[in-house]
């Protein structure tokens, strides 16, 4: 059984693992492995070199082209385009390791053990990280146990809640965020395995981001949009997504907090606990990206409507929805929103604090 890590654990292990130790991440495609690595090391001033080993036809694509050294009469290899020549450490990300040809994998052996390639050493402090896919749906090359032994191996399974936080920060289309929040299996296509059709499209995290890029800013989605989305996340997920939107026209946080609450309240009366959870989840990211830019009048309106919303949940005795709302105060992902709650919504903050205390 592989050791499983989510995004937080992955970031922590990247911080504590010495450069001399190699890391192998196992997981499905489209779950953000390369994106997280790129961001983590780039933010720390490290150059990340990504090599897609599955695209290399022979070892020469990796080690460079041989030539005769006229001075010594011996053959040497010209360094490949990516090889660092300024002695600055790099993070070498070997993507699709188990899609590489066996002859390319043989070249990786010396690189993984000795940090050397065709007689040339990587700069001291360089790191080697690989990523592999696992599952019967992939065409893979079996890895030599000797090569595998040179890596610390972790199965990367990022949580859906982590993705929801990320999606809100990236300002993905809120309809997609709501859909995934209430249909978590749709994020990575967990329900669509085992198809006999090699070209059947199934959803993944990259696909939902691409779908968001297309529909964001479009108020009403038509049959045309359904067709477009189906080509991105698959026919089944597209149908479910559009059906969800037709049945669940949940009030967005912007309308809840900047609109007329007396009108909003009438719509809230028909909502269920899961739908209130979606509203709660949308409030904090909205505040996080809005409150710092809002003028005084908008801040006052947001504070007033937020208080009305909490009072509504309290008067209806919707304890599960209240508990979910209060639990979001523990999150470290929305510091601006929490600061606003404490400073501009003192009464609400006191009520939520007392409610949490009553649950103990």
Does residue 204 have a pLDDT over 60?
Answer: yes
Over residues 210-221, the mean pLDDT reads: 90
What is the 8-class DSSP label of residue 79?
Answer: P
CA 131 to chain centre: 16
Q: What is the DSSP letter of 331?
A: -
DSSP category for residue 220: S
Whether the CB-CB separation of 201 and 233 falls below 8 Å is answered with yes
Closest by Cα among 176, 93, 156 to 130: 93
Q: What is the DSSP letter of 259?
A: S
Helices (H), 248-345: 253-258, 261-268, 273-290, 296-315, 319-327, 335-344
Helix ranges (DSSP H) in 130-272: 145-148, 160-169, 174-182, 205-215, 223-233, 235-247, 253-258, 261-268
For the chain, give the number of residues.
360
Q: Tell me the C-alpha to C-alpha distance, in Å, between residue 256 and each of 145, 305, 324, 338.
A: 57, 7, 17, 18
* Tokens at 136, concatenated: 């019967």
Closest C-alpha to 165, from 273, 251, 275, 289: 289
With cut-offs at 50, 70 and 90, classify the pLDDT of residue 193: low
Residue whose C-alpha is closest to residue 8's, from 42, 30, 40: 40
Give the span between the Cα atoms of 326 and 354, in whole angstroms.
10
Ranking 73-87, 212-226, 335-349 by mean pLDDT, the lowest is: 73-87
Q: Please report the pLDDT score of residue 198 as a whole number.
A: 52
Task: Give the tens place of pLDDT for each residue, 3-60.
Answer: 888 888 999 999 999 999 999 998 877 777 888 888 899 999 999 988 888 777 777 7
pLDDT tens-place string over residues 274-321: 888 888 888 988 898 888 888 999 999 999 999 999 999 988 888 898
Of the candidates 43, 23, 26, 27, the residue with the CA atom closest to the CA atom of residue 205:
27
Give 65-82 pLDDT, tens digit per residue. 778 877 887 887 777 888
The answer to whether 146 and 109 have CB atoms below 8 angstroms apart is: yes
Question: Average pLDDT in the 198-204 region?
Answer: 74
279-317 CB burial, b ≥16 within 10 A, e <16? bbbbbbbbbbebbeebeeeeeebbbebbbbbbebbeeee
Instruction: Average the pLDDT over each of 122-131, 162-171, 178-187 and give the range with the smallest value.
Output: 162-171
Provide the 3-class DSSP secondary structure of residue 51.
Answer: strand
Q: Which two tokens stand for residue 148?
A: 């595998």
């Amino acid at each position: 059984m592989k050791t499983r890590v989510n995004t937080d654990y992955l970031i922590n292990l990247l911080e504590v693992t010495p450069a001399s130790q190699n890391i192998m991440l196992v997981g499905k495609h489209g779950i953000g492995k390369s994106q997280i690595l790129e961001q983590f090391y780039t933010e720390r001033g490290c150059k990340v070199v990504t090599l897609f080993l599955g695209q290399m036809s022979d070892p020469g694509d990796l080690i460079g082209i041989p030539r005769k050294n006229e001075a010594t009469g011996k053959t040497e290899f010209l360094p490949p385009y990516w090889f660092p020549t300024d002695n600055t450490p790099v993070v070498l990300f070997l993507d699709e390791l188990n899609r590489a040809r066996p002859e390319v994998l043989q070249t990786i052996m010396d690189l993984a053990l000795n940090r050397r390639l065709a007689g040339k050493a990587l700069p001291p402090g360089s790191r080697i990280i690989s990523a592999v896919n696992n599952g019967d749906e992939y065409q893979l090359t079996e890895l030599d146990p000797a090569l595998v032994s040179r890596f610390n191996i972790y199965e990367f399974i990022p949580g859906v809640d982590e993705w929801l936080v990320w999606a809100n920060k990236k300002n993905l289309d809120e309809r997609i965020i709501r859909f995934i929040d209430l249909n978590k299996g749709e994020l990575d296509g967990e329900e669509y395995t085992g198809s006999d059709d090699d070209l059947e499209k199934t959803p993944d995290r990259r696909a939902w981001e691409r779908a968001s890029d297309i529909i964001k800013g479009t108020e009403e989605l038509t049959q045309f949009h359904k067709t477009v989305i189906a080509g991105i996340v698959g026919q089944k997920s597209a149908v479910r997504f559009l059906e969800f939107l037709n049945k669940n026209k949940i009030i967005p946080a912007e309308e809840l907090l900047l609109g007329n609450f007396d009108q909003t309240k009438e719509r809230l009366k028909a909502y269920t606990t899961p739908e209130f959870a979606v509203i709660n989840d949308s409030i904090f990211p909205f505040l996080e990206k809005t409150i710092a830019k809002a003028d005084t009048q908008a801040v006052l309106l947001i504070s007033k409507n937020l208080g009305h919303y909490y009072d509504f949940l309290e008067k209806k005795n919707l304890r599960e929805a209240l508990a979910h709302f209060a639990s979001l105060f523990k999150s470290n992902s929305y510091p601006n929103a929490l600061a606003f709650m404490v400073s501009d919504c003192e009464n609400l903050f006191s009520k939520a604090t007392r409610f949490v205390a009553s649950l103990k």
